[in-house]
Amino acid sequence: MLAAFLLGYFLGSFPVAYWFGALRGKNLLEEGSGNPGALNAYRLLGPVPGLLVLLLDVFKGALAVAAGEAALGGDPLGGLAGGAGAAWGHAFSPWLLFRGGKALAPASGALLAVDPRLLLAALVLFAFLALLFRRPYRAALAVALALPLLAAAVDRTPFHLLFGLGVGLPVALRHLKDWDR
């Protein structure tokens, strides 16, 4: 399981947005919001690079699930560990001295790969809370905190509860500073 998590962490750690910015002569850690993620890439680099970053970051999460599962000989528990690792790797990338993005895109890819119903439940809850709070960062934080319960509701195993915690915690940690936004 540790090998699957570390493989997912490695895959999730690639700072795609930062690298796209560097190719354009921009440092996403110092410009815009300072966040090396798809939204800042969209704002600073334009819609096409922003969308490419988003798709690649989602892909990182889904790939980490597949790679984690393969690392454990096809065991789905490896996929859960790999998906959680991708969220942690994106949020705390060693390539950026343990800075990183908010991990929403790789977390979404991991949720999609593990069970599309889980991603759908998270998106519906996010939409409801965003309308209720009128603050998307608060809604994202609340969904991240609720993710262990959502995962356990979709598949009633302790492993899915831990997966929800493993994916939700780095997202929540990266959103705490934006509570007022």
The per-residue pLDDT for range 161-175, each reduced to its tens digit, is: 999 999 999 999 998
pTM for the full model?
0.94
- The token duo for 11 is 């895959």
Kindly tell me if the per-residue pLDDT of 181 is higher than 80. no
Strand, helix or coil for residue 46: coil
Give the bridge partners for 99, in sequence order: 93
The per-residue pLDDT for range 105-152, each reduced to its tens digit, is 999 999 999 999 999 999 999 999 999 989 888 999 999 999 999 999
Question: Cβ(172)–Cβ(178) under 8 Å?
Answer: no
Contacts of 109 (CB under 8 A, 6+ apart): 57, 58, 59, 60, 61, 62, 63, 64, 65, 83, 86
Question: Of 143, 181, 147, nearest to 164 (Cα)?
Answer: 147
Distance separating alpha carbons of residues 28 and 46, to the nearest angstrom: 13
Split at pLDDT 50, 70, 90, the class of 34 is very high
Residue 159 in tokens: 């492993």
- Helix, strand or coil for residue 63? helix
Averaged pLDDT score across all residues of the chain: 95
Task: Examine the pLDDT at 178 and tell me if it is beyond 80.
Answer: no
